Amino acid sequence: MRIFSLCTFSTLLGTLVTVLVLEPSLILGNTALAQNQRPPIAAPAVGSAGDFSPSWYDREGLTPDEAVNVAVYERCNRSVVNISTVSIRTDRFFLTEVPEEGSGSGAILDQAGHVLTNFHVVQGAAQVNVTLYDEESYAAKLVGADPVNDIAVLKIDAPQDKLYPVVLGDSERLRVGMKVFALGNPFGLERTMSIGSVSSLNRTLEVQRNWVIKSIIQIDASINPGNSGGPLIDAHGRVIGMNTAIASRVAQSAGIGFAIPSNLISRVVPELIKYGRVIRGDIGITHVTVTDAGLRIARIAPGSPAELAGVRGPKVTRRGPISIIDRGAADIIVAVNGQPVKTAAEFLGIIENMKPKDIVRLGLLREGKPVLVDVTLADDSRLQEETSKF
């Protein structure tokens, strides 16, 4: 009997000590708990702007950092779509048409059914389908495209209650080191999220020969084939970019990815929806060669604004069936509107931001002497054929 009582007393004493050591809040009330927790703040609804902080991480056993990760995914994953394409390739040997499939990602822009993606995801496609979060697929049509900035807008006819638009943020507010989330469909794995940070800002990315996108965001979040066109999201659930490329020779993530900034998207998309393309001014200088002196003009489109203004390209002399080209007779571009230019990208970057009927002042070297020539830009329609593939 004494042994039983002693064991019982020892057990009770051990339990009491355990309670005192492991559960001080039982003795001190909720003081410790109150010191370590923030008051709950409700997250805004999908499609609305603003900060949010989840209130349930303590109940789910998540750290505050994990709670933000989960909240971003829960808020944004239904806005991400899978884009599948079918292109027709002609087999040169058998002279038959061979279908080729491709895939990418996109994001719902509004409840009218507009979808944002990369131009290269849908370029040349004969058929495009968009699959929503509920695995329902819809045929898509191309509303507009901007190959220069690798941006395209599609449209699907889907019920509004199935469309969850993203919220576009301000990419100018980004800082190196900020946390970002890349959503997409890498290798066809739907609505996958990768977490990383902003590695650098204001990079340039060449999307076509002599055409570059400025203000590119460099990130270290994992981006793989299929992520193209997916949204890059900040810790507040706002889209601050669109994933567009990875720096890797094997087409797999190598810790360096790039995204088109949201401010460029916000500027381009309204024109794509309204006009089907971005209306830019056309100068008519289609090729230049980089030299130590500047950009030597290699080709001017016949009847273009540059030719009409008196800008000189290579001199062509015909001698019977032979054409002799004197490239040294061409003007050399050294400045545009007083701004020095040394590369084709710098030259085209200035022209890209101008509209038809704008006047461009070219600073030229002609036979070694400085010359100023004013050129009135025309409407640029050279890219329309590229943007009407399907």
State whether 178 and 262 are in the same domain.
yes
Name the residues annotated as catalytic. 120, 150, 228
Q: Pick from 289, 302, 303: which is nearest to 331 by CA?
A: 289
- Asked whether residue 199 is assigned to any structural domain, the reply reads yes
Alpha helix locations (H) across 178-333?
262-275, 305-308
pLDDT in tens, 333-388: 999 999 999 988 788 878 888 889 999 999 999 999 999 999 999 987 654 544 44
Instruction: Among 98, 133, 162, identify where a domain stops.
Output: 162
State whether 247 and 291 are in the same domain.
no
State whether 265 and 294 are in the same domain.
no
263's tokens: 């401010």
Amino acid 41: pLDDT: 36
pLDDT interval class at 148 (50, 70, 90): confident
State whether 357 and 260 are in the same domain.
no
pLDDT in tens, 38-79: 444 343 444 444 455 555 445 567 888 888 999 999 999 999
pLDDT in tens, 162-207: 999 999 999 989 999 999 999 988 666 677 898 999 999 988 787 6
State whether 148 and 196 are in the same domain.
no
For position 122, which CATH number holds? 2.40.10.10
State whether 285 and 271 are in the same domain.
no
State whether 216 and 180 are in the same domain.
yes
State whether 189 and 206 are in the same domain.
yes
Amino acid 386: pLDDT: 41
pLDDT interval class at 227 (50, 70, 90): confident
Q: Indicate the pairing of strand 231-234 with strand 80-91.
A: unpaired
State whether 301 and 266 are in the same domain.
no
State whether 237 and 256 are in the same domain.
yes
- Asked whether residue 340 is assigned to any structural domain, the reply reads yes
> Could you give the CA distance from residue 5 to residue 308 in angstroms, rounded to a whole number?
111
- Which residues lie below 8 Å from residue 165, measured CB to CB, with a gap of 6+? 47, 79, 108, 109, 110, 111
Q: Pick from 171, 145, 153: which is nearest to 261 by CA?
A: 171
- Which residues lie below 8 Å from residue 97, measured CB to CB, with a gap of 6+? 88, 89, 90, 91
Q: Match 């239904």 to its residue by tokens.
A: 78
Instruction: Among 275, 293, 321, identify where a domain stops.
Output: 275
Buried b (16+ CB within 10 A) or exposed e, 155-183: bbebeeebbbbbbbbebeebeeeebbbbb
For position 304, which CATH number holds? 2.30.42.10
- Which residues lie below 8 Å from residue 130, measured CB to CB, with a gap of 6+? 81, 82, 83, 106, 115, 137, 138, 140, 154, 156
> Could you give the CA distance from residue 153 to residue 242 in angstroms, rounded to a whole number?
13
Split into its structural domains, the chain has a count of 3
Q: Which residue has better confidence, 11 or 63? A: 63
Instruction: Among 100, 130, 162, identify where a domain stops.
Output: 162
State whether 133 and 211 are in the same domain.
no
State whether 293 and 380 are in the same domain.
yes
**Res. 248: pLDDT tops 70:** no
Domain that holds residue 309: 281-387
- Asked whether residue 30 is assigned to any structural domain, the reply reads no
- Asked whether residue 64 is assigned to any structural domain, the reply reads no
- Which residues lie below 8 Å from residue 3, measured CB to CB, with a gap of 6+? none
If DSSP codes are grouped into helix, strand and coil, which group holds residue 19? Answer: helix
Q: Match 């303590």 to its residue by tokens.
A: 58
